[in-house]
C-alpha cells in the first residue's frame, strides 16, 4: 500500500497514546513479548529463508547462519538478562546530600521508537534492533528497505501477526516514505545504513532533538592487515569466507587487505586457492553464491572492476541477468588509489602491498582516514596487535580472525564517527533504548540549614568552613 504523511503521523500518535497507558513498563510483560517474538521467528524460519534467497540469492545455510540464528540468539540473551538489566540501581547519595542518603537510577524507556533497517541483513537488522527496543519498554515503528522487497513483505506479515499496530508496526516503501517517517517526532531513532544517509537522518532528527543511534559502514571501508609473520593460509581462508558471505554486502566486511609486500604474492596465491576451494572454480555456476541486491549495485561493481581491469588477478566476471559478480581480487593496488578510499559493499577485494617494517606508518595512514566499523589484523606478533587495537579508532574487530566478534555475548557492537554512534547487542542494546533517570530519595527529618541563606556573617563563615571540610 502507499503511505501518506497523515498515515504515518497517525501510526506514531497511536503508539504514543499506547505508550502513555504504561502497558510497556512491566518487565515481565516485556519478557512475554520477547518470548512471543522468538516463537514467531521460529515459526517463520522457512519463510525468512525463502525471502532471503529471493532478495539476495542466499542459501538456506547462509540465511540461517547470518540472519535467523543471530536473531534468535539475541532474543535469548535479552530474555535471560532483562530482569537484571532493568533493575533500578541504588547509590549512596553522599554527605553533601545528608540526610537524604539513597539515590536510585531508573532505566526508563524513551517511548516511541523508529527503526530504519537495511537490505543486506533484513531479518537480523530489523528484529535484532526491535528486540532491544522492546526490551527497553518502547513501542516501535519499523521502516524496512524497499530493496529487499521479499523480506519486507514477509516481515510485514510477521509483525502484523504478532503484535498490535499501536505497539509494533511495519511501514514499507522507498526514500519518500522514510522521509515522511523522519518528519515525525519520535523519541528515539535507530538507523542502519550508509554514512551519507546517516547524515540525513541526523539532520532530520535534529529538528525534534531526537536521540539517534547509527550503525554505518564507514566512509573509507574496513581494513584487514596481514603482516609477513602471519599464517597466510589461515588468513586467506578466513578472508575468502568473509568476502564470499552475502557477496561482500556486509557493513563489517573487509573492504581491502593490506599485505606485507614480502609475502604479498604468496598471500594472493593462497587467497585464490581459498576462493576456489570454498566456492569452486566458477563462482557464478555455484548456486549457493549470493547475488547483489539490484541491477544498480551490479552496475556499480562491474564499472569499478572495469576501471582496474589491468590489475584483476582473479574473478572480474559477472552475470547481469542474475546480478551476480564473481569474487574479484585486484592486485597490486596503491594505498592512495580511489578504490580504497570508499566503501565498496561488493565482492571486489583490493590488495595493498606495504613494507612490513613500515606497519606502524600504514596504521597511521589508516588512522588519518574516516574511522572504520571493523579492523582485522593477522600476525603472530600479539604484542603489536594488542597495541594497535588499543590505539586505533574503529568499531570492533579481531586478531587472526574475521567477523565473529559480532557473535560474542555481553559485548557492544557499533562504530564511531563515520561508522556510527551508540552501541547495541544484549545489555548494550537495552541501554541504547533506555534513559537512566536519577532520583534522590529525600528525607523530611534531620535537615540542616547548610545550603540555605544566610551566606554572610558568622553563619556564612561557618557554612564555608564545613563545605571546605567536605571537599577534602
Options 251, 323, 346, 398, the catalytic residue: 251
Cα 395 versus chain centre, distance: 9
**Partners of 435 in beta bridges:** 108
Options 49, 215, 270, 432, the catalytic residue: 215
Provide the 3-class DSSP secondary structure of residue 39. Answer: helix
* Separation between Cα atoms, residue 190 and residue 113, nearest integer Å: 8
* Separation between Cα atoms, residue 14 and residue 10, nearest integer Å: 6
Cα 106 versus chain centre, distance: 26
* Separation between Cα atoms, residue 97 and residue 137, nearest integer Å: 31
* Separation between Cα atoms, residue 355 and residue 364, nearest integer Å: 14
Provide the 3-class DSSP secondary structure of residue 74. Answer: helix
10 Å CB burial of residue 449 (0-12, 13-18, 19+) is exposed
For 128-192, give the DSSP string. Answer: HHHHHHHHTT-EEEEE--SSSHHHHHHHHHHHHHHS-TTTEEEE---HHHHHHHHTS--SEEEEE
Does the annotation mark 245 as catalytic?
no
Does the annotation mark 215 as catalytic?
yes
- 295-323 per-residue burial string, b: 16 or more CB within 10 A, e: under 16: eebbebbbebbeebeebbbbbbebeeeeb
What positions carry a catalytic annotation? 215, 251
Amino acid at each position: 500500500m502507499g503511505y501518506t504523511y497523515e498515515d504515518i503521523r497517525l501510526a506514531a500518535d497511536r503508539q504514543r497514546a499506547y505508550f502513555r497507558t504504561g502497558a510497556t513498563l512491566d518487565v515481565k510483560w516485556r519478557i512475554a513479548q520477547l518470548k512471543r517474538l522468538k516463537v514467531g521467528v521460529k515459526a517463520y524460519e522457512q519463510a525468512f529463508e525463502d525471502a532471503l534467497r529471493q532478495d539476495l540469492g542466499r542459501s538456506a545455510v547462509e540465511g540461517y547462519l547470518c540472519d535467523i540464528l543471530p536473531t534468535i540468539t539475541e532474543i535469548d540473551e535479552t530474555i535471560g538478562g532483562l530482569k537484571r538489566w532493568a533493575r533500578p540501581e541504588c547509590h549512596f547519595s553522599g554527605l553533601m546530600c545528608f540526610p537524604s542518603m539513597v539515590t536510585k537510577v531508573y532505566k526508563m524507556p524513551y517511548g516511541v521508537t523508529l527503526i530504519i533497517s537495511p537490505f543486506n541483513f533484513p531479518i537480523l537488522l530489523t528484529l535484532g534492533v526491535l528486540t532491544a527496543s522492546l526490551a527497553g519498554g518502547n513501542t516501535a515503528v519499523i521502516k524496512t528497505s524497499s530493496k529487499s522487497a521479499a523480506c519486507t513483505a514477509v516481515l510485514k506479515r510477521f509483525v502484523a501477526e504478532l503484535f498490535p499496530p499501536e505497539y509494533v508496526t511495519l511501514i514499507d516503501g522507498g526514500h519518500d516514505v522514510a522521509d515522511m517517517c523522519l518528519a515525525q517526532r519520535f523519541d528515539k531513532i535507530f538507523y542502519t545504513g550508509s554514512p551519507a544517509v546517516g547524515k540525513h537522518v541526523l539532520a532530520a532528527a535534529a529538528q525534534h532533538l531526537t536521540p539517534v543511534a547509527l550503525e554505518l559502514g564507514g566512509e573509507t571501508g574496513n581494513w584487514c592487515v596481514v603482516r609477513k609473520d602471519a599464517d597466510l593460509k589461515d588468513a586467506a581462508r578466513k578472508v575468502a569466507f568473509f568476502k564470499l558471505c552475502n557477496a561482500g554486502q556486509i557493513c563489517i566486511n573487509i573492504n581491502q587487505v593490506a599485505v606485507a609486500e614480502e609475502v604479498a604474492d604468496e598471500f594472493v596465491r593462497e587467497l585464490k586457492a581459498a576462493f576456489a576451494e570454498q566456492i569452486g572454480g566458477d563462482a557464478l555456476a555455484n548456486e549457493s553464491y549470493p547475488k547483489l541486491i539490484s541491477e544498480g549495485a551490479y552496475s556499480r561493481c562491474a564499472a569499478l572492476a572495469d576501471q582496474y581491469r589491468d590489475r584483476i588477478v582473479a574473478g572480474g566476471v559477472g552475470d547481469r541477468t542474475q546480478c551476480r559478480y564473481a569474487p574479484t581480487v585486484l592486485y597490486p593496488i596503491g594505498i592512495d588509489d580511489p578504490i580504497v578510499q570508499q566503501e565498496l559493499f561488493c565482492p571486489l577485494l583490493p590488495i595493498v602491498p606495504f613494507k612490513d617494517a613500515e606497519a606502524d606508518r600504514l596504521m597511521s595512514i589508516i588512522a588519518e582516514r574516516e574511522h572504520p566499523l571493523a579492523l582485522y589484523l593477522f600476525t603472530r606478533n600479539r604484542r603489536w596487535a594488542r597495541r594497535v587495537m588499543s590505539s586505533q579508532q574503529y568499531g570492533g574487530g579481531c586478531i587472526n580472525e574475521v567477523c565473529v566478534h559480532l557473535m560474542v555475548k555481553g559485548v557492544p557492537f557499533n562504530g564511531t564517527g563515520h561508522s556510527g554512534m551508540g552501541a547495541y547487542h544484549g545489555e548494550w542494546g537495552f541501554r541504547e533504548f533506555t534513559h537512566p533517570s536519577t532520583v534522590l530519595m529525600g528525607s523530611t527529618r534531620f535537615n540542616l540549614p547548610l545550603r540555605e541563606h544566610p551566606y554572610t556573617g558568622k553563619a556564612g563563615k561557618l557554612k564555608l568552613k564545613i563545605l571546605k571540610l567536605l571537599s577534602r
